[in-house]
């Protein structure tokens, strides 16, 4: 078993005076390049047969994420659970296991998954994933003009504690409301500590993992050609030890039929 340094040893190494600025509370994100060609045929079939719809946060495209559809098609909330995609789901789960072990978290299982399709000028609004602590994206098709995946610094909003901070109008559908402007609005220059969005370049076969509390978005795919599609499969994970509780919650909020998430990962049996 690997031996870890005691906490006081870390303290002695880090806090030496005088010291320069020390980054703490790191946010772990990870990328894995998978051999996507072996999965393309099966993924295309799943995309073709799965009901999709427009969704408020997805513009210039469609998504399989829709709780209303899930009432009738419960498999729509865990598309990677399709039997034809078992090899891909297994490889993704292996990457999740690797990530959790390296970061130091308890084992996690994938409990929900869906896909988004964006066409030219399509984009996805900034959002976070609730009811999970690890999320991920697997990029099925990413033509050359695909926009990057963007992550938001969670500290940006917290640091705006001045009651005189600026506000802006936010409009979604017919709803319009006044909200605080997130971000380092008091920033004087860009440094490693003051930028609030970072780009993650994407390509076919990329698997990207990130904590679910991170805000993220996709900017307009202006460089996509007419007829091209950017397709990614997104998913959420929870601790395996909480699968039974999650099943009860999911049946109450999403599903009409019986569903057992403890069977999402056979290695959890």
Quick: pLDDT tens for 8-59: 444 555 566 666 777 788 899 999 999 999 999 999 999 999 989 898 899 9
Buried b (16+ CB within 10 A) or exposed e, 12-22: eeeeeeeeeee
User: Would you identify the CATH topology of the domain 28-153+199-263?
Assistant: Jelly Rolls (2.60.120)
- d(CA 152, CA 157) in angstroms, rounded, equals 10
- The residue length of the chain stands at 269
What is the predicted pLDDT for the residue at 190? 79
Q: Which two tokens stand for residue 101?
A: 């072990």
- d(CA 185, CA 164) in angstroms, rounded, equals 11
Return mean pLDDT, the chain: 80
Q: Which two tokens stand for residue 128?
A: 């976070």
Q: Which two tokens stand for residue 79?
A: 């598309």
Q: List the chain residues with pLDDT less than 70.
A: 1-19, 66-76, 157-186, 250-269
The tokens 């609730």 sit on which residue? 130
Task: Using alpha carbons, list the distances in angstroms from residue 118 to 60, 72, 86, 226.
Answer: 6, 24, 25, 11
- List the domain boundaries for the chain: 28-153+199-263, 155-195
What is the predicted pLDDT for the residue at 23? 77
What is the predicted pLDDT for the residue at 91? 97
Positions of E strands within the chain? 30-33, 53-55, 58-63, 108-127, 134-141, 149-152, 167-172, 175-180, 197-200, 206-211, 215-218, 230-239
205: alpha, beta or left? (left if phi > 0; alpha if psi -120 to 50): left
Q: What is the pTM of this model?
A: 0.79
Write out pLDDT tens, residues 134-153: 999 999 999 998 999 999 88
Beta bridge partners of 91: none
Rounded to 5, what percent of the chain is helix, strand, coil? 30, 30, 40
Sign, Cα dihedral of 243, 249, 255, 257? positive
What is the predicted pLDDT for the residue at 181? 47
């Amino acid at each position: 078993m690997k031996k870890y340094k005691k906490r006081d040893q870390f303290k002695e190494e880090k806090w030496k005076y005088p010291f320069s600025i020390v980054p703490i509370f790191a946010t772990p994100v990870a990328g894995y390049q998978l051999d996507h060609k072996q999965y393309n045929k099966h993924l295309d079939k799943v995309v073709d047969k799965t009901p999709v719809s427009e969704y408020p946060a997805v513009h210039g495209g469609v998504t399989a994420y829709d709780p209303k559809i899930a009432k009738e098609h419960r498999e729509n909330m865990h598309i990677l659970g399709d039997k034809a995609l078992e090899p891909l789901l297994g490889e993704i789960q292996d990457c999740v296991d690797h990530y959790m072990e390296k970061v130091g978290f308890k084992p996690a299982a994938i409990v929900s998954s869906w896909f988004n399709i964006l066409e030219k000028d399509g984009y996805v609004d900034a959002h976070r994933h609730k009811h999970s602590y690890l999320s991920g994206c697997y990029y099925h098709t990413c033509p050359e003009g695909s926009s990057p995946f963007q992550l938001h610094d969670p500290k940006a909003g917290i640091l705006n504690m001045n009651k005189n901070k600026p506000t802006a109008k936010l409009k979604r559908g017919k709803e319009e409301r006044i909200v605080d402007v997130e971000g380092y609005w008091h920033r004087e220059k860009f440094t490693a500590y003051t930028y609030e969005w970072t780009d993650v370049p994407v390509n076919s076969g990329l698997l990207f993992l990130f904590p679910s509390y991170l805000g993220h978005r996709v900017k307009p795919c202006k460089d996509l050609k007419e007829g091209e599609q950017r397709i990614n499969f997104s998913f959420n994970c929870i601790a395996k030890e909480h699968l039974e509780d999650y099943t009860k919650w999911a049946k109450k909020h999403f599903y009409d039929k019986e569903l057992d998430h403890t069977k999402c990962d056979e290695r959890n049996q």
